[in-house]
Amino acid sequence: MDKIWLKRYPAGVPETIDPDRYSSLVDILEQSMAQYSDRVAYINMDCQMSYSQLDKMTRNFAAYLQSIGLQKGDAVAVMMPNLLQYPVALFGILRAGMTVVNVNPLYTPRELKHQLSDSNAKAIVILDNFAHTLEKVIADVNLEKVVVTSIGDLLDAPKRWIVNAVVKYVKKMVPSYHLKNTIAMRKALNIGQQASYSRPQLSGDDLAFLQYTGGTTGLAKGGMLSHRNMVANLEQVSAVFNPLVNDGEETIITALPLYHIFALTVNCLTFIKHGGSNVLITNPRDMPAFVKELAKHPFSMISGVNTLFNGLLNTEGFKDLDFSNVKIAMGGGMAVQRSVAEQWERVTKSRLLEGYGLTECSPVVTTNPTDIEHYNGTIGIPLPSTEVRVVDVDSGEVLGIGEAGELQVRGPQVMVGYLNRPEETAKVMQDDWFCTGDIGMMDEQGFFKIVDRKKDMILVSGFNVYPNEIEDVIAAHPKVLEVAAVGVPHDSSGEAVKIFVVAKAGGVSERELIDYARENLTAYKVPKFVEFRDELPKTNVGKILRRELRDEELKKAEA
C-alpha cells in the first residue's frame, strides 16, 4: 500500500523521526528538568510543582527504591488517580532504571492479583483509598515493599493536613486496611533525600512500561514497551504537534488518568518534553467541579475521549469559559462522534482532532493533521515513521483504497511483545506488522477511517453492520446524550441491531429514534430494539463497554 498520506503532511512535519535520538525517557526528563527548572510542571488541587521540584522529588524516590535493594529492571506498580504523587512515582521508578506497571485503582482483588503476579512486581505505590483491595491479595503476590500515600500528601501545608483529614474522617473515603511492610510516601522521599542515587545506564532496549491491555476482552496481557518504543512515540507525536506548540508555554488539561497509555504519552510524557504544564484532574466524573477547575487555568490543549467531551459540553458553565488560548483538543480511545466534534467546534472555536492508537503501539498510530479546518470523520494519517496497511481478514491480501479490512501497523513504537506470552505475541505479529483487530479503510488522500472492531461487527442477514456508524447517527439526535449499539440474536436475520440510549433531560421516545434512524440508515442497519438506561457501562477512562451490554443480551437469550 503506497504511503500516499505523506503528501498530506503539513509544512514542518517530517516523514521520519529518529527513535534513537535519546537513549531513554530519562534523558528527555533530565533535559527538560534542567531547561525548564522554574516552569510549573504539574498543577493539582491548586498546588503547583515546578520542574526543579520534580527533579528533586523524583531523584529522592529513585534513591529510595535503590536503597531498599531493588535492582535495575525490577517491576514497580503504581495504583492511584491523577495526583502530584503520580509523576513523582512514575519518573522516580524510571530514574531508578526500573519498569513501571500502571494499575487501574478501581481493579477488583482478582484483577489486581493477576497484574501483580503476572508482572512479578517487587513494590507498589498505592493510594490509601485502595489499600484494602491490596490487603486481600497481598499474601498471594511477591511484593517486597508497599509505599502508601494519601490524597493530599504532596500539597502544601496546611492544605495537606486538611485534605487528608476530610478525605479520611469526614468523607470516609479510606476503608480500613491492615498491611505489613508499608512505608508512607513522604517518609520514603525523606529517606531517599539522605540516600545516594546511582544513575543507571539505560538503553532503548530496556523496558520502560509493562502496560496491561485486553482486560475487557479476556485475560489482561502485559504489553512490553521499551524506552525506544516510548521515545519513538514521543518524537512522532511531537513532530505532529510542532506547528502549534511553543516550548515552555503550553498548559494541557490532563483529565484522563495517567495510568492510561493515551494520557501517559500524549499529556504527561510529550508535554514534559516540551516544558508544558499539566493540570491534573483527579476526578473528571464530577463534571461541575471539573468545569470550575478549567475556569482557573487558561489552557491551550486538552485530551479526552468522546464521552468526556460530550459530558463537558452538557455541563452548566462550560460554554461560558474563556477558550481564547485553546489550540487543540485531542480525541482518542474510542470513536469521536460527529455531533460532539461539531458542537465542540461551535462552542470553543477550536478543533477536536481524532486520533487512533493501541496500547501495543505506545499508543499513537494516526492522528488528523493540525491544519484541518473541521472534523472529517477519520482517524487521520499515520505518524512519521509509521506505516499502516489494510488487509483482507480471511486471505491476508493487502487491499486498496476504499476497501475495508484489518488495519496493520509497522513502526518503531510497536511493542516488544506480551510479557511471558509468546503465543499471544505470535497471534498479533506478522513479521514486524502488528495486527490491530480493527476494521478500517484508507481514502484517496491517505486518511484512515475505523469501521469497527472485528469482534464488534454485527451480521444482519449476511450484511456487515458496524456499531460505530449506528452510534454516530443516533448520537446526532438532539435528544440523545449517549448511545451504544450491539448485535443481539434474532430468529430470522441471525443478528439484529439493538441500541442502548441515555436520553437528555426531557427524554425521547423509541418511535422518534427508529424514525430518525430510518431517515439516515439503510433498512438492515436500522435498530430493531431500543432500551433506555440511566447510564451505560464504561471503563475508567469513559470508553463505553459494548461487550458488557452484548454479554447481558446473550445471557437473556440463553435463559
Which sign does the torsion angle of CA 145, 149, 154, 158 carry? negative
Residue type, 521: L
- For the cut 80, the answer to whether the pLDDT of residue 348 exceeds it is yes
Sketch out the chain's domains with CATH numbers: 38-202 (3.40.50.980), 457-558 (3.30.300.30)
User: pLDDT band at 463, cuts 50/70/90?
Assistant: confident
- For the cut 60, the answer to whether the pLDDT of residue 217 exceeds it is no
Higher pLDDT, 497 or 462: 497
CB 302 within 8 A of CB 253: yes
Phi-psi region of 46 (alpha: psi -120 to 50; beta: other; left: phi over 0): left
CB contact burial 491-519 (16+ within 10 A = b; e otherwise): eebebbbbbbbebeeeebeeeebbebbee
- For the cut 90, the answer to whether the pLDDT of residue 535 exceeds it is yes
Whole-model pTM: value is: 0.90
Report pLDDT digits (tens) over 116-156. 999 999 999 999 999 999 999 999 999 999 999 999 999 99
- Residue corresponding to grid cell 477536536: 352
% residues pLDDT > 90 (the chain) = 87
Instruction: Supply the pLDDT for residue 491.
Output: 83
Report pLDDT digits (tens) over 27-79. 999 999 999 999 999 999 999 999 999 999 999 999 999 999 999 999 999 99
Between CA 558 and CA 550 the distance in angstroms is 12
- For the cut 70, the answer to whether the pLDDT of residue 324 exceeds it is yes
Between CA 288 and CA 308 the distance in angstroms is 13
Long-range contacts of 481-485 (CB under 8 A, 24+ apart): 481/310, 481/314, 482/307, 482/310, 482/535, 482/536, 482/544, 484/536, 484/544, 484/546, 484/549, 485/458, 485/527, 485/546
DSSP 297: S
Alpha carbon of 204 to those of 21, 27, 112, 230, 355: distances in Å? 10, 11, 29, 9, 26
Q: Nearest-CA neighbor of 455 among 466, 442, 441?
A: 466
Q: Nearest-CA neighbor of 439 among 424, 425, 456?
A: 456
What backbone torsions phi and psi does residue 124 show, to the nearest 5 degrees?
-140, 140
Report pLDDT digits (tens) over 539-550. 888 989 998 999
For residue 443, how far is the Cα from the chain centroid?
27
Average pLDDT, the chain: 95
Report pLDDT digits (tens) over 185-204. 999 999 999 999 999 999 99
Instruction: Supply the pLDDT for residue 214.
Output: 67
